[in-house]
Structure formats: C-alpha cells, structure tokens
Amino acid sequence: MSGLSERIRKLTEGGNRMLRPIPNFSFRPDYWMGALLVLGFVLQGITGFLLLLYYVPTPDQAWASTNYIVTSVPYGSLLYTFHLYDAYAIILLAFLHMFRNFFVGSYKKPREGMWFYGVILGLITLGFGFTGYLLPWTVISKSATDVGIGMLNYFPAQLTAGIKSILVGSGTDAAELTRFFAIHVMLLPMLLALFLLIKLYTFEVHGVAPPVGQAEGSVAESTPWIPDGILYVLMLGLFYTGGLLLISSLFPATLPPAYSVQSAMTVTPEPDWYFLWIYQILKLSIFGGPNVVYALTLVTLLFVLLFLVPVIDIRGGRAPSERPVVFTLGMIVATSLVFLTIWAYLTPGQTIPFYQAVLYIGIIALSEGIAAYLGLRRRRSGRGGAARAHPSIAMAVLAASIAGASASLMLLEKGYLISIFLIAGFVFSSMSSLSKIGEGRK
C-alpha cells in the first residue's frame, strides 16, 4: 500500500501535481456547477448507451422501440425518464452556470477563453436537446422539429443549403431521423469531449476565479484535494444523482402518442421547454409569415452578443458597480428569458400582439433599470474615492426583477405563478456569491 500512497502524494504535492489544492472560498455549490454538468453528461452517456441497446432509429420502429423500453424493459421506465430529466437538469444547470459566471464577472481577463468555450459547449448542449427531442418520434416532437427545419426555408437557399443537407438529407422521414440520430450519438458527443478538454485545460491554467473584490493571484487559504476535495465533490455528485433518481421514479415521464400524418393535424407543434422563449418570440404578431426571418436573425444576434460578452465588456473590474450597464442588461435578459418561457407555456399556438410583449418586457426592463440605478450608482467611499457598491445591491436588483416579472404575470391573470418567481429568487439569492458580489475592494 505504501506504493499507492506514494503515487497519491505525487498527484497532489509538489510542482508537477495534477490535483491542485482547493481554495477554501470555493467550498460552495455554485463553484461546482461545471463539475456537476460534467457528471450530468457522464450519466447521459451511461443511460444513453443503455437506451441504445433497445432503440431502433427508423420511422416505423423509433416510437415502438421507445415504448418497448418504457413498458417492457426491466427498469426501462426509470432509464428513459432519467435520460430525459438529466437532460433537463443539464440545460437548467448550464443556464445557471452561465448567468452565475456572468454576474460575478468571471469572464473577465484572464478567463475570456473559458467564456468562449462555455458558450460553444452551451450551444452543443442545446444541439443535444434539439436532436434528442426528435428521436422518440412522437407526434409533438416530430411536428415541432419539422416546424424548426421549415424555418430555414425563409432564409436565402445559398445560406441554408449546407445545414439542410446535413440535417434532413434527401428530405424523407427516414433520412431526417437517421441524420438526427447520428448527430445526437456521434457528432455532438465528440464535439462535447473536444471542447470540454479545451475548457478543462484552460481551467487548469488559470484556476478558479477568486471572489469579487479579491485580487487575482492573492494567496487564499486552501485545502488539499485528498481527502477533503474528493469528499466534497462526491457528496455533491451523490445528491445530484440521488435527487434526479428520486424525481425520475416519483414522476415518471409519459411517452406522447406516435407520429403519423393524421395525428400531426390534431396537435399544436411545440418545442421542449428550453426553446419556449424562442418560440414565444417567433409567435409575436410582427414576426408572422416571412417576417420570421427577422425573429430568427434577432435570436442569432443574441447568441452572437452572448459569445462576445468578454470582448464587449473589457473595461473596469468585476464588481457590478464597475460595469453597471452590462450587469443591468444581464438582469433584464435573465428575467425576460424566464418570463418568455412561462408565457409561451401558457399560450401554446397563440399569436401574441406585439404591444403586449413590449409592455411586459418594458415593465421588467424599467423596474430592473431603476433598481440597478439606485443600487449600482457609484458611492464615494472615504478613502481615495474608490468605487464601492452597497452590499445589498444584488438583493435589491433581484427583488426588483422578481417584482417586475410578478407584475407582468399578474397582468396575464396568472397570479399563482408569482410563487415560481419567489422560489427562483430564493434559490438565486441563496447562492451566497450574490450577497457578496456587492462588496467593494479591500
């Protein structure tokens, strides 16, 4: 056993150690969302492989084989539900991970690369969702995917020919399913692994971002990886896996009816929840018919802006008071995303008058803008006039966003939904990083 201990010591000690000690400030769940995402993807790989043992990717067998998994394979219902819910958890965690790192400003120098690779990984994650949604060949998923692919027709053919030939090939159902299947189980996992490796390497180079207000490279007290770090990650991972298993078994997913041309006439094609906000933008009255091109351009622009955040916001430090405009815009985007998602869920298939969207998003933007102005305006401290923000700023901004969104929802006559925002606000504020991001520099 002494040989083993020697090897472990080599891993964790000395200049060439592979597992660096963990700074004590990072023993908090919000510092480990990326690690949980990796775990989530590993679990997807395992459950996905088990589903592949039974799944048949042909139009006449896809739904039947999925139904066989759910009803007849031992533990099949749990397997199918777990794969689905783990995907949902990954997408939710990815959004939380992104917004958390946006609000604490960890995309700033020297971690711009982490942000770029993160956005690419986020797009790959959404690609998994888009392609995986079609695979069970249910009436809703097939119809919604066709609507999504159909939108490409509004763009100039030269632009979309390449994408269409990859996604649908000859245009038959069989070609579409085979291609989505190949992308889901082969192309995307390879891209995921590649960018994950690049991102992990960058992380090893720069290390974890210190809390806002703490200088880069300042010596923080740290704890060795073995046993404390390992035990902490093990604990978080067990809670994640156990919680998902528990939810998957108590609320098993039901498989929607099979797709057929006749059954497709009776349903409203609707994307899965993580694309509902885009769906809601597309349903706005001004984007009807061929104008959908403008909506899609708008969404594409949003993603481009998201990618370029570290390039746009180069000046100033990481504290919210040093980047008030970018911080406030981020709050508005985050709240609007949640709001549009719930709104789309409540109004399936309905065209939305444009003025309504302007009114509701306007209320959110205005209330958050005012809160941010009150909270984030620079306060002169006694010493040297350094920019300092009040500690409760983040809370004020959060409260305002919750109030704004709740007010908008009350206008929609769905008052009970306020509770969702209250819970979201609670979860958000319990991430204690947010209560600390207002603290000025030492």
Q: Is 24 in the site for other proteins (CB under 8 A)?
A: no
Q: Identify the residue among 29, 45, 207, 252 touching other proteins (CB under 8 A).
A: 252
Which residue type is seen at 119? V
Q: Which of 23/320 has CB closer to other proteins?
A: 23
According to CB under 8 A, which residues from 287 to 306 bind other proteins? none
CA distance 281 to 351: 10
Reported in sequence order, the residue ranges of 154-251 that DSSP labels E, i.e. its strands, are 222-223
Q: From the CB of 255, what's the least distance to other proteins, in Å?
A: 14
Verify binding: residue 55, other proteins, rule CB under 8 A.
Answer: no
Tell me the closest approach of the beta carbon of residue 67 to other proteins, in angstroms.
12
239 binds other proteins (CB under 8 A): yes
Tell whether residue 187 is a contact of other proteins (CB under 8 A).
no
d(CA 199, CA 1): 34
Which residue in the block uniquely carries the two structure tokens 């923080």?
Answer: 220
Report the nearest approach of other proteins to the CB of residue 129 (Å).
23
d(CA 357, CA 25): 41
Q: Applying CB under 8 A, does 224 fall inside the site for other proteins? A: no
Instruction: Tell me the closest approach of the beta carbon of residue 337 to other proteins, in angstroms.
Output: 30
Phi/psi at 425 (5° precision): -65, -40
Contact with other proteins (CB under 8 A): which of 161, 200, 231, 423? 231
Please report whether residue 249 would count as binding other proteins according to CB under 8 A.
Answer: yes
214, 19 Cβ separation under 8 angstroms: no
> Residue 238 or residue 423: which is nearer to other proteins going by CB?
238
Considering only residues 74 through 103, tell me which ones interact with other proteins, judged by CB under 8 A: 74-78
42 binds other proteins (CB under 8 A): no
243 lines the binding site for other proteins (CB under 8 A): yes
Distance (Å, whole) CA 324 – CA 438:
12
Note whether 257 binds other proteins by CB under 8 A. no
CA distance 303 to 408: 25
Those residues whose C-beta lies under 8 Å from the C-beta of residue 179, and which sit 6 or more positions away, are 166, 167, 168, 169
Binding segment (CB under 8 A) for other proteins, from list 36-44, 95-103, 243-251, 410-418: 243-251
Q: Single out the residue of 26, 138, 145, 248 in contact with other proteins (rule: CB under 8 A).
A: 248
Q: Which of 72, 260, 285, 392 binds other proteins (CB under 8 A)?
A: 72
Instruction: State the nearest-atom distance from the C-beta of 223 to other proteins, in Å.
Output: 10
Cβ atoms of residues 113 and 202 within 8 Å: yes
Quick check: 101 and 115 in contact, CB under 8 A?
yes
Nearest to 134 by CA among 71, 74, 57, 42: 57
Which of residues 135 and 244 has its CB atom nearest to other proteins in the complex? 244
In DSSP notation, 176-189 reads HHHHHHHIIIIIHH
Q: Does 247 bind other proteins (CB under 8 A)?
A: yes
Cβ neighbours for 288, distance < 8 A, ≥ 6 positions apart: 351
Shorter beta-carbon distance to other proteins: residue 173 or 228: 228
Q: Contact, 438 vs 318, CB < 8 A?
A: no
In the bound complex, what is the minimum distance in angstroms from residue 47's beta carbon to other proteins?
A: 13
- Of the pair 105, 237, the CB lying nearest other proteins is at 237
**Residue 70 Cβ vs other proteins, minimum distance, rounded to whole Å:** 9
What is the nearest approach in angstroms of other proteins to the Cβ of residue 240? Answer: 9
359 binds other proteins (CB under 8 A): no
71 near other proteins (CB under 8 A): yes
Nearer to other proteins, 24 or 432 (CB): 24
Binding residue count for other proteins, defined by CB under 8 A: 28
Contacts of 404 (CB under 8 A, 6+ apart): 335, 363, 364, 366, 367, 368
- Chain-centre distance for alpha carbon 327: 18
Say if residues 340 and 281 touch (Cβ distance below 8 Å). Answer: yes
Q: Residue 53, interface with other proteins (CB under 8 A)?
A: no
Q: Is 285 in the site for other proteins (CB under 8 A)?
A: no
Backbone dihedral region for residue 245 (phi beyond 0: left; psi -120 to 50: alpha; all else: beta): alpha
Of 39, 87, 41, which is closest to residue 233 (Cα–Cα)?
39
> Any idea what DSSP says for residue 382?
T
Q: Which is nearer to other proteins, 252 or 316 (CB)?
A: 252
* Residue numbers at the binding site for other proteins (CB under 8 A): 71-78, 227-228, 231-232, 234-236, 238-239, 241-250, 252
